[in-house]
Amino acid sequence: MPFNVGHQSSIPIKISSLVKTKTNSDELKVGVCDLMAWLCLLMILSTCQTTWAFDTRSESKLSNLTRVLLESAREPEFFGWLIWIRRRIHEYPELAFEEDNTSQLIKSELDSLGSNTAGLLQRLGWWVRLGQGCSRGSGLEQTWMPSQFSLIIWKEMVEWEHKSKNNGKMHACGHDAHVAMLLGAAKLLERMKDELKGTVKLVFQPGEESYGGAYHMLKEGALDNFQGIFGLHVAPEIPVGTVSSRPGPMLAASGRFIATINGKGGHAARPQDTRDPVLAASFSILALQQIVSRETDPLDAMVVSVSFVEAGQAGNVIPETVRFGGSIRSLTTEGLVFLQQRVKQIVEMQAAVHQCTASLDFMEEKMRPYPSTVNDEAMYEHAKQVGEALLGESNVLLAPMTMGAEDFSFYSQKMKAAFFFIGTKNEAVRSVKRLHSPYFVIDEEVLPIGAAFHAAVAIAYLDGHAMDTQ
């Protein structure tokens, strides 16, 4: 077994933290912070009517909190532990829903905190509770949720001591760092457990890359009765020491498709005896590009990309079958449904025109389509204020909307959500390549920042809610 379970171990999975606080009102449940590790999230659930008080901490108290947390995370022993976790995970990447060693490594780290853990998704995902608990009849719960751990199928091209030892697989999206940061937040919260006004539940989620692990976490009931969630993902486009996000729509809804066109093969010298699926596929691909250019409002962002075509191999034979496929994207979930309908209609009709038949597979079970990621304005504003106290107002940036997709979106459909990017760009250590590159590198100075950011968002939220309900 490549991971040493028992000393400083961890895993790329999604983490969630649940918090209960003592108040004089009926029990409030505040929900989940998801490190979408590829992120981190903070979820919050309220079971009764209350005013959300994100700014109840004075500016000086919030600044002091963030300073103490960041200084603690940057202590040499703590920082070294964060680096060890991240590198250990990086060396042994595992495919979605096959993260057995990673999962055991995470559980070992959680067990070292001395708290109870429970398994999810065939014991690949885990959660742990930290804090004081709550009295009968009152309480506030807050949850940190997904820290993702799935990998990218690339051969790592960066030569360094901790290069991936699983050939053809690598962590090229930062999930190794996401897990390390959220485990770091768990340790910071454990140190302050006597001061927590509630109980924090950390939840680690597997299977983020293309397989919708968040959807399965929700299906298992891991986030039932929660109202809010916070997520964090590394971003090599912005410098270390900065974070970015935006209120409202942020990331696209996305889905995959595979089209199969069947015709009648034959010799290239006698095309009249064939029903050419290559011609039908060619017209289909061209027609698909007209969906966005001629059927949608230019102000509504949508993308249809055909990324592969498979046909015959011989130069003198017209094949019987052609397969092609790609992805569809929209900044609204409704737009994604429209694209699915039109892709199906166009391919089937073009095939019929050329006397062929067609079938479409949107892979809704194997690679479930992702909805769009939409930030709740109040949750966004809370995390933004914490980020400004931690890093300075000028280092909390307004992120542009992009057509990338994230399975954090499943959480944002169910509860109030805020998803943030955390910068890793540093030319001095070659941390400049984009996500999913075989040359992807992370500046590990981001690890204590991410850990402190997670912990501060949770503590400040609990403090604000506790004061608001007294």
Coil, strand, or helix at residue 400? coil
Model pLDDT for residues 401-430, shown as the tens digit of each residue:
999 998 889 988 888 888 999 999 999 998
Q: What is the pLDDT of residue 198?
A: 72
Give the long-range contacts of residues 71-77, CB within 8 A, separation 24 or more: 72/188, 72/191, 72/452, 73/184, 73/188, 73/447, 73/448, 73/449, 73/451, 73/452, 74/448
Q: Determine the average pLDDT of the residues in 233-241.
A: 96
More confident residue, 150 or 441: 441
How far is 18 from 26, CA to CA, in rounded Å? Answer: 17
How large a percentage of the chain has pLDDT more than 90? Answer: 48
How far is 371 from 253, CA to CA, in rounded Å? Answer: 4
Coil, strand, or helix at residue 396? strand
More confident residue, 416 or 100: 416
Q: Would you state the structure tokens that stand for residue 232, as one six-digit string?
A: 């964090």
Coil, strand, or helix at residue 356? coil
In the block, residue with structure tokens 């060396």: 91
Largest CA distance in the chain: 86
Q: What is the pLDDT of residue 120?
A: 54
Residue ranges of the annotated binding site are 173, 175, 209, 233, 436
Model pLDDT for residues 361-391, shown as the tens digit of each residue:
999 877 889 999 999 999 999 999 999 999 9
Residue ranges of the annotated binding site for Mn(2+) are 173, 175, 209, 233, 436
Q: What is the pLDDT of residue 411?
A: 86
To the nearest 5 percent, what fractions of the chain are helix, strand and coil? 35, 25, 40
Model pLDDT for residues 317-332, shown as the tens digit of each residue:
999 999 999 999 999 9
Question: Side by side, which strands form the sheet with 228-239?
Answer: 117-120, 125-131, 199-204, 141-144, 40-44, 32-35, 228-239, 416-425, 243-245, 396-398
Domain architecture of the chain: domains with CATH: 57-251+372-466 (3.40.630.10), 253-361 (3.30.70.360)
Asked whether the beta carbons of 232 and 45 are under 8 A apart, the reply is: no
Q: What is the pLDDT of residue 131?
A: 61
Identify the band that residue 125 occupies on the pLDDT scale cut at 50, 70 and 90: low
Q: Determine the average pLDDT of the residues in 337-342.
A: 97
Task: Provide Rg for the chain, Cα atoms.
Answer: 24
Model pLDDT for residues 127-178, shown as the tens digit of each residue:
555 665 432 222 334 444 444 444 445 566 777 677 777 677 777 888 889 9
How far is 335 from 55, CA to CA, in rounded Å? Answer: 36
Q: Would you state the structure tokens that stand for residue 221, as one six-digit string?
A: 């009931």
**Sign of CA pseudo-dihedral 109, 110, 113, 117:** negative
Q: What is the pLDDT of residue 206?
A: 66
How far is 347 from 330, CA to CA, in rounded Å? Answer: 19
Outline where DSSP puts E strands in 364-415. Answer: 373-375, 396-398
- C-alpha triplet 371, 343, 217: angle, nearest 5°: 25
Is the per-residue pLDDT at 251 higher than 80?
yes
More confident residue, 114 or 394: 394
Q: What is the pLDDT of residue 56?
A: 42
Average pLDDT taken over every residue of the chain = 79
